[in-house]
Amino acid sequence: VADKDEAQGLKNIRDFLKVRTGYDVFPLSFRLIVLDTDLLINKSLNIMIQNSIVSAPLWDSHTSRFAGLLTATDYMNVIQYYCQFPEEMSKLDQFRLSSLRDIEKAIGAVPIETISVNPLLPLYDACKGMLKTRARRIPLVDKDDETGREWVVSVITQYRILKFIAVNNEHNTVLLKRTVRELNLGTYTNVATAQMTSPVLDVIQMMVHRNISCVPIIDKDNRLLNVFEAVDIIPCIKGGVYEELAGSVGDALLRRPEDSPGIYTCSEHDRLGAIFDTVRKSRVHRLVVVDDENKLKGIVSLSDILAYVLLSPVD
Ligand code: ADP
């Protein structure tokens, strides 16, 4: 980082994260839905939909231990499994959450390492841990002093961390004046895209194989129309009816819940500080970089932003 202000802003944000803990990120009161690994996969879907959640910590009640996180990626793996082993389709409603790791192995997916951190540790360390693994969320697991038993306090996501930074560091984020292009922030080559008429299954396979959580949907002139996100599959397989996956991306996007946050775009000339303003005000999970004609240029994911803020050299 050449610019002095920019370096100072980044340093201040890092110092901020070093003196805050996992506990600081949470409101005084919040709910956490933890699912038992004996639960049927299909039932877990309904619970996610009814509670408007897209991930949940898993609990193994046989060992009384935390057993990882359930996310949209797991459902994508299940779908991929049936594409590879259609003869297994009849067993669909018998699979439990405890089978997810076997499904992952069967399709040859690289398992997402679940690192958990103690909520009393500095947030800075939790973030670095998250960036080192492919994890997009980190469970905060504490130990009860008296019984020595583990319990899951909550889960922090990249989204929550960036929001927490944005809300508490307005004076620092204004210092981040370099643009998306100057920072080379995000991905601009070989961007995975699809069209409204593409089959949902193709898009899911693309996300599983490339290990990405979204695919921009463009028209024939490369204009951005929408973004298909990993979480968009959940309403498609509601009730365990996988037939709907035969449909197009356009049909699948119609099933989005009404309160879904929508898509956010930015230009290559936007400053990182301006992106933090958007994060402060809105439910942003990624930004699609477009030009003046709304043509797709690239993607800036939350992990791209977090990696720059935490890992770029400042001296
Ligand atoms: P996150 O890690 O924040 O959940 P992603 O999994 O979508 O976000 O992104 C992981 C990496 O892949 C990022 O560096 C991002 O720029 C890149 N990426 C995201 N979507 C695509 C895509 N459709 N095509 C190519 N690269 C992508």
Per-residue pLDDT of the chain (315 residues; tens, 9 = 90+): 558 999 999 999 999 999 999 889 987 788 899 999 999 998 999 999 899 888 999 999 998 888 889 999 899 888 888 888 888 877 777 899 999 989 989 988 877 777 888 889 999 998 988 888 877 888 888 888 888 888 888 888 999 999 999 999 999 999 999 999 999 999 999 999 999 999 999 999 899 889 899 999 999 999 999 999 999 998 888 877 677 788 999 999 998 888 888 899 999 999 999 999 999 999 999 999 999 999 999 999 999 999 999 999 987
> Residue 161 contacts by C-beta under 8 Å, 6 or more apart in sequence?
25, 123, 127, 306
Q: How many whole angstroms separate alpha carbon 49 and alpha carbon 255?
A: 12
* pLDDT at position 86: 84
Report the CATH number of the 171-311 domain.
3.10.580.10
Report the CATH number of the 4-167 domain.
3.10.580.10
Distance from the alpha carbon of residue 216 to the mean position of ligand 1, in angstroms? 11
Atom of ligand 1 nearest to the CA of 302: 3
Atom of ligand 1 nearest to the CA of 286: 3
CB-CB contact of 311 with 15 (8 Å):
no
Ligand 1 is surrounded, with C-beta below 6 A, by 136, 158, 186-187, 191-192, 212-215, 286, 299, 301-304
**Fold: same for 4-167 and 171-311:** yes
Distance from the alpha carbon of residue 127 to the mean position of ligand 1, in angstroms? 17
- pTM score: 0.91
* pLDDT at position 167: 97
- Domain spans of the chain? 4-167, 171-311
Q: Strands 224-229 and 55-60: what pairing?
A: unpaired
Q: How many whole angstroms separate alpha carbon 242 and alpha carbon 247?
A: 10
Query: Residue whose CA is closest, atom 13 of ligand 1?
Result: 301
* pLDDT at position 300: 98
